[in-house]
Amino acid sequence: MKPLSLLALALSAALLVPAAGAAGPAGAKAYVGNFKDDTVSVVDTGGHAMVATIPVAAGPDGIVVSRNDRLVFVSGSGSSSLSVIDTATDRIVDTIEVGKGPQGLATTPDGRWLLAAINGEDRVAFIDVASRKVVGSVAVPKPHTVSISPDGKQAYVSSQAPGQFALAVLDLPGRTVAATVPVEKTPRDLEISPDGKTVYVTMAGAPMVQVFDTATNKVVAQIPTGVSPHVAHLFAGAPAGVVVVQGPGELMLFDPATHAATGSIAVGKQPHWVDILPGARQALVTNEGSNNVSLVDLGGGPVVTIPVGNAPRKVAVQHRASAAGGAKVSIRDFAFGPDQVAIRTGDSVTWSNDDGAPHGLGFKDGAPGTNELLPGQSFSRVFDKAGVYDYVCSVHPYMTAKVTVSDLSASADSLGAPR
């Protein structure tokens, strides 16, 4: 083989991915903010190991994974910026200046907006995810954490100004404060239920979870807990609600219908935060006092402990088990099988040439394909925009097929289906 063709082969190989046995995480990746290290630990929840450490803005506090799983936003509470991590490379790709002391973060179900509690400037910032620019703010005294309703229309914000502790209810389309609900003690966290009807609130010095009805903003129940509950959350599709209880170092489980405690699972020291894994059967809890995370089976299986950095606080897990999930198409007998696949925005399609002859991929929208997909090779494309994508084999144009991409926000994902 001539050197030139070797180079051409190497260039085309850069676009190709192995058909099977690809290296990389076995499960969704979790991003853990280490408060005292100014780093984020990346944990492979399938392989039970820390796979990367990423320096971020000082005092990592809020963390969210974008709805399409491609980016992670981390607020530096000791800075004035958010660090943006690309999940494909686990490197910082951007820094967004948002104002002094950013804390809690949340994204809208359609993935378009990121809300950031700018604690040092008494406002909640609205960030356009596509342009990564702050486009507006709503005044809220000492905002700490943010939770967005499943319909994307409201946000609840814990407001920690001394003497005026409250839950601020924001109207998102109007970018206004719709209501201010006074509470007796410092609100620590609040989380809206998947049906949007309930908010679970924890407060400093109160060994209970207060359950608010979002229709009336009144307390309708209290769930007694051990000392220092930090976060109470009912994740979509999960078999039980969970409460991270710092004093005893446990994840308490509760029945969302009766608000009764149904069990508890021991985790590490001074647990801080929790997120759910895809499938909603396992949760990941950060242990600030023991510098590790606990992977907890909500059905009561063994707890796996994974070391991370110094003082892990917030954690966010990717919404899907694998970035290369999506759909698979096999090329066989001079045809695409199946010739129609349906995926969601952010998903990928992987084509493998399982035929005896070379094929290719030509996309009608002009996106790069390949003219040389040899037997045994495969090719992947990520689809970020909803639509119908027709394609052909670039070697045999009579081979036609299509990919239908629907918007994540229009799917059941935001309405309580397991994510």
Q: Would you tell me which residues interact with Cu ion (CB under 5 A)?
A: 359, 393, 395-396, 399
What are the percentages of helix, strand and coil residues in the chain, rounded to 5? 5, 50, 45
- Report in angstroms how near the CB of residue 270 gets to Cu ion at its nearest: 59
Q: How far apart are CA 399 and CA 64, in angstroms?
A: 41
* Residue (116 or 373) nearer to Cu ion, CB: 373
Residue 413, SS3 per DSSP: helix
CA atoms within 13 A on the CB side of 349: 27
* Residue (233 or 359) nearer to Cu ion, CB: 359
- Report in angstroms how near the CB of residue 331 gets to Cu ion at its nearest: 7
* Residue (208 or 395) nearer to Cu ion, CB: 395
CA atoms within 13 A on the CB side of 51: 21
Q: How far apart are CA 36 and CA 308, in angstroms?
A: 12
* Residue (287 or 377) nearer to Cu ion, CB: 377
- Report in angstroms how near the CB of residue 361 gets to Cu ion at its nearest: 9
* Residue (327 or 395) nearer to Cu ion, CB: 395
Q: What is the dihedral of CA 298, 46, 113, 380, to 10 degrees?
A: -140
Helix (H) or strand (E) holding 243: strand 241-245
- Report in angstroms how near the CB of residue 339 gets to Cu ion at its nearest: 13
- Report in angstroms how near the CB of residue 8 gets to Cu ion at its nearest: 19
- Report in angstroms how near the CB of residue 20 gets to Cu ion at its nearest: 21
- Report in angstroms how near the CB of residue 333 gets to Cu ion at its nearest: 10
Structure tokens at 207: 């060994």
Q: How far apart are CA 75 and CA 62, in angstroms?
A: 5
* Residue (190 or 373) nearer to Cu ion, CB: 373
* Residue (332 or 396) nearer to Cu ion, CB: 396
- Report in angstroms how near the CB of residue 395 gets to Cu ion at its nearest: 4
* Residue (88 or 357) nearer to Cu ion, CB: 357
DSSP state string for 341-410: EEEETT-EEEEEE-SSS-EEEEETT----EEEE-TT-EEEEE--S-EEEEEE-SSSTT-EEEEEEE-GGG
Listed residue (225, 314, 235, 329) closest to 282, CA to CA: 235
Q: Kindly calculate the radius of gyration of the chain based on its CA atoms and give it in whole angstroms.
A: 23
Residue 106, SS3 per DSSP: strand
